Amino acid sequence: DTAVSQTPKYLVTQMGNDKSIKCEQNLGHDTMYWYKQDSKKFLKIMFSYNNKELIINETVPNRFSPKSPDKAHLNLHINSLELGDSAVYFCASTAIGTGADTQYFGPGTRLTVL
């Protein structure tokens, strides 16, 4: 049983294109996140959503637009892709107020912009 799933796992595209990455969690969590891992393996928060509402936007270019149709899904749409967007994007989720509030991560989507 997959807890946090992402599609696609790999995404190769040309500069200037628009692409989306989908994330779904079946853990019943109410908060979801997008993280970006760069080529040096550094992980940084991009967005967090709680019950479909945007909570945190960490100075991400507005070419990135997260969308949460319901609390189990958080998709990431990227417009006008640039070379610097090449990275691994991780979705994560947590249940707020459960003590540790451990974030569980999806398998990641490796985006390559040519």
For residue 90, state whether it binds another protein (rule: CB under 8 A): yes
CB of 34 to another protein, least distance (A): 10
CB of 80 to another protein, least distance (A): 26
78 contacts: CB under 8 Å, gap ≥ 6: 18, 19, 20, 21, 63, 64, 65, 85, 111
CB of 39 to another protein, least distance (A): 13
Question: Of 31 and 75, which has the nearer Cβ to another protein?
Answer: 31
* Range 97-103 contact pairs with CB under 8 angstroms and sequence separation of 24 or more: 103/33
- 44 close to 101: Cβ distance less than 8 angstroms: no
Interface positions with another protein (CB under 8 A): 31, 33, 35, 40-45, 48, 50, 55-56, 58, 88, 90, 92, 96-97, 99-108, 110
